[in-house]
Amino acid sequence: MDPRVERHAAVIVDHCLDLQAGDEVLLMVPSVAEDLAVALAERAGDRGAFPIHVGGSARSHRAFIRAMDPEAFDEPPAAYVALAERADAAVSVRASTNTHQTSDVPPEKNAAFAQLMQPIEESVTGKRWVGTQYPAPGNAQDAEMSTPAYEAFVYDAVNKDWAAQRAFQANTVELLDDADEVRIVAGETTDLTMSVAGMAVVNDDARKNLPGGEVFTAPVPDTVDGEVLFDMPVMHQGRELVDVRLTFEAGEVVDAAAEKNEALLESLLETDAGARRVGELGIGMNRDIDRFTANMLFDEKMGDTVHLALGRSIDETVPEGREGNDSAIHVDMLVDMSADARIELDGEVVQRNGTFVFEDGFDDGA
Amino acid sequence: MDPRVERHAAVIVDHCLDLQAGDEVLLMVPSVAEDLAVALAERAGDRGAFPIHVGGSARSHRAFIRAMDPEAFDEPPAAYVALAERADAAVSVRASTNTHQTSDVPPEKNAAFAQLMQPIEESVTGKRWVGTQYPAPGNAQDAEMSTPAYEAFVYDAVNKDWAAQRAFQANTVELLDDADEVRIVAGETTDLTMSVAGMAVVNDDARKNLPGGEVFTAPVPDTVDGEVLFDMPVMHQGRELVDVRLTFEAGEVVDAAAEKNEALLESLLETDAGARRVGELGIGMNRDIDRFTANMLFDEKMGDTVHLALGRSIDETVPEGREGNDSAIHVDMLVDMSADARIELDGEVVQRNGTFVFEDGFDDGA
């Protein structure tokens, strides 16, 4: 077996889930990722944990959803609920031979199914849970890479020394913890300010997402002002939004445009009141993610980027007694910060052209 | 998709399990049989049932069992127990790319695992449950057949008109229901008598096993007398017993020999007291199974054969107030009845050279 797969399994079992003797762990691993399933089963066994393999292929999922009548189910399947409730931990692995396998499932059926399964999803992701990626051919194709090159990309991003990465990211957490106003400037097209005063800053060292590698928080609602060009494509509902431009006033989008699929952007903004507001500010710090691969699990952790999410704030970023943003959507959008760009905190430049103030080679602009 | 796979799924869902709206059905289908998993998911969806895919590959199983410490688990995994208890129905599909995948798992660990999982196994098989076969390459190899030829063999055996098969088999059930003494004669090597008086006769029309296609009962303990040559190989614990000869007196084996692995036969007979006695008499009536494939799911239903099982009687064959045989083992062994052979019931020949008295071409010996 590829030793990178065994290392990936070790990171999942030892770092992300910290499996203990007696733990029952759900392995939700598509068959194209069988090597990872084998390595996870072995590593779980080593730790005295019991692996339970669940979940079918995208082909089975497609066949079932197309055939089912959503009206036939008024509550989630009791056996699945019982399984999810009793499990101690879970791994969800993404891996596709064809990422468009469910593209001919009627959207309303997909939505009905997702709604039916939501309590189970919440039960599973509320445990020691991690979502990760196996470098299957369909995913390599989405990334516009050969499968071997994509494998190298994925394993570099996930098989890291996460303690070292955490320590590296702690520098940014410290800066943000002390900050009130954040200003993001990139070229002539992005100049945005927001307050993060009193919001919690999270050091994502790959507990729930593997790869991890971002530092994120939530802006204070109503404080987002200025304009931004998201210069990397945004994938939404299988479609690509290109060069999204947003103008914010007092926290709300007042002007929106996109070079491609602008109508989709407009419908997105009209989802609900919170869809016009920013729920998350994230700073990508995983330098092994050095290219855009049209996969948000990786893209949002990319080095030299920041991202904003329209919609819902992440619970962990909103301390008791503070208010975040609420919405049915959470759509991340990225800004490239690698050139002609800076992050300022309370007027001090803390990152210029991707290099932080606490790194060698930082240009203080003097 | 191969229409034979879709037909197989329809037989499972409609005939074996009779899935209803709201049923939750466990699909335990190895990934090599993904086509069948897809067809089952679709058919389940058509019926308003909810499929839950569970179970990993033989490779994962091997990796886990080798790594685990059986002492680490004093009871079966609670999440798996909860899943099994709440499910309404289940399908177990056998399908291997290598039927020896777990041959390097220490037997004591395999045994410990099987014992750990036994309550779950009983919970699952006690529901609307069916065990069936997908014609994977490893299974074709065991059958000494090409994969396409094995596919044809499997689908002929399983995709039958089971109502018609049941009606055909009912003739044999009727004969056995009225009978006391059964005599089986084949060549110079087999002449065995036993009483089946008062025992229940089961018409296996593929409810728990697909293929089905046998009529079976239990002999009255102590009544089995005579000698028998089992002229088809017996697979036991991955090893082959060839030309097993047994002599019975008052229900018990008093003499035993085999051309190959005689020591294994002896240890088998010494398992417990019931291991020296016959728990089942079966008559194979699925004429689409026309060859030995070293797979008891098929072999015991083969046309023109009878089989005896050393060990445990099947519960259904032992009516309230009667006694069957009890043992930890249940090992089926076959006698070819296609030539120079007959079955007599109370002195009347009811099958000669494989042809029953109720069929055209029966030779009454006159």
Quote the pLDDT of residue A103.
85
- The tokens of B72 are what? 């680490």
B151-192, pLDDT tens digit by residue?
A: 999 999 999 999 999 999 999 999 999 999 999 999 999 999
Question: What sign does the CA torsion over A42, A48, A49, A52 have?
Answer: positive
pLDDT above 70 for A366? no
Alpha-carbon span A164 to A158, nearest angstrom:
13
CB contact under 8 A, A64 and B80: no
Q: Which of A20, A26, A53, A81 to mutate to test the interface with B (most CBs of B within 10 A)?
A: A53
Q: What is the distance in angstroms between the Cα of B51 and the nearest Cα belonging to chain A? A: 8
- Which positions in chain A touch B39 (Cβ < 8 Å)? 63
- Rounded distance between C-alpha atoms, residue A183 and residue A173, angstroms: 16
Instruction: From residue B36, give the alpha-carbon distance in Å to each of A304, B32, B131.
Output: 47, 9, 13
Instruction: Find, in chain B, the residue whose alpha carbon is nearest to that of A60.
Output: B38
pLDDT digits (tens, 9 = 90+) for A278-316: 999 999 999 999 999 999 999 999 999 999 999 999 999
- Give the whole-angstrom CA distance, residue B230 versus residue B306: 10
Per the DSSP assignment, residues forming a β-bridge with B245 are B229, B257
Closest alpha carbon to A120 in A89, A77, A56: A77
DSSP characters over A5-58: HHHHHHIIIIIIS---TT-EEEEE--GGGHHHHHHHHHHHHHTT-EEEEB---H
Predicted local confidence at residue A275, as pLDDT = 95
Across the interface, whether the CB atoms of B56 and A61 are under 8 A apart is answered no
- Partners of residue B14 in chain A, C-beta under 8 Å: none
A82 closest CB neighbour out of B38, B44, B82: B82
Q: Is B263 on the interface with A (CB under 8 A)?
A: no
- When CB atoms are compared, the residue of B42, B48, B77 closest to A63 is B42
User: What percent of chain B clears pLDDT 90, i.e. is strictly above it?
Assistant: 90
Give the per-residue pLDDT at B285.
Answer: 98
Question: What does the buried/exposed string (b/e) look like for A57-96 if buried means 16 or more CB atoms within 10 Å of the residue's CB?
Answer: bbbbbbbbbbbbebeebeebbbbbbbbbebbbbbbbbbbb
B85/A82 touch (CB, cutoff 8 Å), yes or no: yes
- Whole-number Å distance between alpha carbons of B56 and A242: 41
Long-range pairs of B117-120 with CB within 8 A, sequence gap ≥ 24: B117/B76, B117/B80, B118/B76, B119/B76, B119/B81, B120/B76, B120/B80, B120/B81, B120/B84
Residues of chain A with Cβ-Cβ distance to B5 below 8 Å are none
Band of pLDDT at residue A9, cut at 50, 70 and 90: very high
Min Cα separation B84/chain A (Å) = 7
pLDDT single digits (tens) A210-229? 999 999 999 998 999 999 99
Q: pLDDT tens across B266-325, in order? A: 999 999 999 999 999 999 999 999 999 999 999 999 999 999 999 999 999 999 999 999
Percent of chain B at pLDDT > 70 equals 100
- Whole-angstrom distance, CA of residue B68 vs CA of residue A23: 13
Q: How far apart are CA B119 and CA B81, in angstroms?
A: 8
**Facing A59 at nearest CB: one of B38, B79, B82:** B38
Q: Using only C-alpha atoms, what is the Rg of chain A? A: 21
Nearest to A60 among B41, B54, B87 (CB): B41
Nearest CA to CA, how far is B211 from chain A (Å)?
A: 24
Among all residues of chain A, which has the CA nearest to that of B41? A64
Distance of CA A28 to the CA centre of its chain: 18
Q: Is B80 on the interface with A (CB under 8 A)?
A: yes
Please give the residue of chain B at the shortest CA–CA distance from A113.
B50
pLDDT-based confidence at B366, cuts 50/70/90?
Answer: low
Per-residue model confidence as pLDDT tens digits over B27-74: 999 999 999 999 999 999 999 999 999 999 999 999 999 999 988 888
Residues B220, B309: Cα–Cα separation, whole Å: 13
Residue-wise pLDDT tens digits, A15-48: 999 999 999 999 999 999 999 999 999 999 999 9
DSSP designation for A339: S
Interface A:B, Cβ pairs < 8 A: 156
The backbone torsions φ and ψ at residue B263, rounded to the nearest 5 degrees and listed phi first, read -65, -35
**Which residues are CB-contacts of A62 (< 8 A; sequence separation ≥ 6)?**
A101, A102, A104, A105
Using 50, 70 and 90 to split pLDDT, how confident is the model at A74? confident
Burial of residue A161 (CB within 10 Å: 0-12, 13-18, 19+) is exposed
Nearest to B41 among A52, A54, A63 (CB): A63
Helix (DSSP H) and strand (DSSP E) numbers for chain B:
10, 20
State the DSSP code for A219: P
List all residues of chain B from 93 to 122 with a beta carbon under 8 Å from chain A.
Answer: none
Smallest Cα distance from A132 to chain B, Å: 18
Per-residue pLDDT reduced to its tens digit, B233-270: 998 877 889 999 999 999 999 999 999 999 999 999 99
Is A48 in Cβ contact with B24 (below 8 Å)? Answer: no
CA–CA separation, A332 and A133 (whole Å):
18
> Do the Cβ atoms of B24 and A78 come closer than 8 Å?
yes
Tell me which residues of chain A, numbers 37 to 66, contact chain B at a CB-CB cutoff of 8 Å. Answer: 37-46, 48, 50-57, 59-61, 63-66
State the nearest Cα–Cα gap between A139 and chain B, in angstroms. 20
* Phi, psi dihedrals of residue B324, rounded to the nearest 5°: -105, -155
A268, A253 in Cβ contact below 8 A? no
A37–B46 C-beta distance less than 8 A: no
Q: Would you give the DSSP letter of residue B97? A: S
Of A277, A317, A315, A316, nearest to A196 (Cα)?
A317
Nearest CA to CA, how far is A58 from chain B (Å)?
9
Judged against a pLDDT cut of 90, whether residue B215 lies above it is answered with yes
Choose the closest CB to B78 out of A41, A43, A86.
Answer: A86
- Determine the pLDDT at residue B67: 95
| B265 and chain A in contact, CB less than 8 A | no
The three state secondary structure string of B233-285 is CEEECCEEEECEEEEEECCEEEEEECCECHHHHHHHHCCCHHHHCEEEEEEEC
Using CA atoms, how far residue B153 sits from A32, A227, B16, in Å, is: 29, 68, 20
Which of B27, B66, B82 lies nearest to residue A83, judging by beta carbons?
B82
Q: Which positions in chain A touch B123 (Cβ < 8 Å)?
A: none
CB contact under 8 A, B83 and A80: yes
Query: Are the Cβ atoms of B67 and A26 closer than 8 angstroms?
Result: no
Section A262-266 average pLDDT: 93
ipTM: 0.91
One-letter amino acid at A202 equals V
Residue B102 binned pLDDT confidence (cut-offs 50, 70, 90): confident
A73 pLDDT above the threshold of 90: no
* Residue A272: other Cβ atoms inside 10 A: 14
DSSP state of B225: E
Reduced to 3 states, what is the DSSP secondary structure of residue B15? helix
Question: CB distance A37–B24 less than 8 Å?
Answer: no
The contacts of residue A326 (CB under 8 Å, 6+ apart) are A274, A312, A313
Helix (H, G, I), strand (E, B) or coil at B295: coil
Calculate mean pLDDT across residues B192-208: 97
Collapse the DSSP code of A3 into the 3-class scheme (helix H, G, I; strand E, B; otherwise coil) and give the result.
helix
Whose tokens are 């990760």? That residue is A132
Cα–Cα distance between A191 and A255 in angstroms, integer?
Answer: 14
Q: Do the Cβ atoms of B51 and A48 come within 8 Å?
A: no
pLDDT at A183 over 90: yes
Cα–Cα dist A92/A219, whole Å = 29
Query: Residue A77: which of B52, B67, B68 has the nearest Cβ?
Result: B52
pLDDT of residue B236: 83
Q: How much of chain A exceeds pLDDT 70, in percent?
A: 100
Which residue among B45, B61, B72 places its CB closest to the CB of A68? Answer: B45
Instruction: Give residues with Cβ within 8 angstroms of B338, minimum separation 6.
Output: B304, B305, B353, B354
CB-based contact (8 Å) between B128 and chain A?
Answer: no
CB contact under 8 A, A45 and B66: yes
Among B155, B196, B120, CA closest to B9 = B155
pTM of the model: 0.93
| Distance separating alpha carbons of residues B148 and B292, to the nearest angstrom | 17
